[in-house]
């Protein structure tokens, strides 16, 4: 599946998906500072209409209205899929939302080329996602090179891992936030205990830990917080909900 995701990104690059002309301003808020001072659960909620594991999650509709419902519910940041294949995402969706909201936004994609980071800068992203396994499997150039490039563009980097080894590799980098994906990208199976296993015996170095995938309930938030997560990236459960604002609010108030 990881190879398929990388191939999808290359296809999108070849198709000119990331060739953006106009440049949008990013948020004036720093998500790391916002998370640190938040007394409740810090959510990054995700706008995505499809995924490889679930297929179609929600009928494609106005992404801005969805984003505003998430903000009304109290989300700290927005993650927006910019990968068109398998996820039905688009840099255009991201840009549409960016024009309407001021909170921090994460460009969610499988980044294998710097042109995608350039696109992130132009559509007003505050954060870009890098996946450690893409680099560990030599499916893209050196991760440090990508992180440095993103920083030069003014972007924060969330680096995502799924295994203990990937996490240990990720903490050696200069990434700004450390993500733990509870989903195995090879099998697409989810286990929230991935966060627990990876953070066991880990002495925090001051960076924000973001637990990602499989989060559905307030109890999930409480469990992951006890494991050491500082923030929570929640996508499918919210996009499937008939009451986006209500579900986001209940997750935010879990802490």
By annotation, the residues acting in catalysis are 46, 48, 108, 160, 181, 212-213
**212-220 contacts, C-beta under 8 A, 24 or more apart:** 212/160, 212/179, 212/180, 212/181, 212/182, 212/183, 213/181, 213/182, 213/183, 214/182, 214/183, 214/190, 215/182, 215/251, 217/251, 218/250, 218/251, 218/253, 218/254, 219/254, 220/192
Distance between CA atoms of residues 10 and 252, nearest Å: 36
Distance between CA atoms of residues 15 and 5, nearest Å: 15
Tokens of 36: 């640190």
Q: Measuring CA to CA, which residue among 92, 97, 78, 111 is closest to residue 10?
A: 111
Distance between CA atoms of residues 41 and 231, nearest Å: 7
């Amino acid at each position: 599946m990881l190879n398929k995701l990388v191939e999808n990104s290359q296809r999108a690059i070849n198709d000119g998906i990331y060739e953006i002309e106009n440049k949008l301003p990013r948020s004036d808020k720093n998500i790391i500072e916002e998370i640190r001072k938040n007394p409740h659960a810090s959510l990054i909620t995700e706008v995505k209409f499809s995924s490889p594991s679930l297929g179609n999650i929600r009928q494609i509709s106005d992404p801005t209205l969805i984003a505003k419902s998430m903000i009304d519910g109290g989300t700290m940041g927005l993650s927006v899929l910019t990968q068109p294949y398998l996820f039905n995402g688009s840099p255009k969706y991201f840009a549409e939302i960016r024009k309407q909201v001021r909170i921090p936004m994460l460009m969610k994609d499988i980044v294998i080329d710097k042109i995608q980071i350039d696109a992130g800068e132009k559509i007003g992203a505050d954060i870009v996602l890098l996946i450690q396994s893409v680099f560990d499997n030599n499916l893209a150039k050196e991760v440090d090179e990508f992180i440095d490039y993103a920083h030069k563009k003014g972007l924060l980097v969330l680096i995502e891992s799924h295994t203990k080894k990937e996490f240990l590799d990720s903490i050696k980098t200069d990434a700004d936030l450390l993500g733990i994906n509870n989903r195995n990208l090879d099998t697409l199976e989810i286990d929230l205990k991935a966060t627990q296993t990876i953070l066991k015996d880990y002495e925090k170095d001051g960076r924000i830990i973001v637990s990602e995938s499989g989060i559905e309930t307030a109890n999930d938030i409480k469990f992951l917080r006890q494991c050491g997560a500082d923030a929570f990236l929640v996508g499918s459960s919210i996009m499937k909900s008939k009451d986006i604002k209500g579900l986001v609010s209940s997750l935010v108030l879990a802490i």
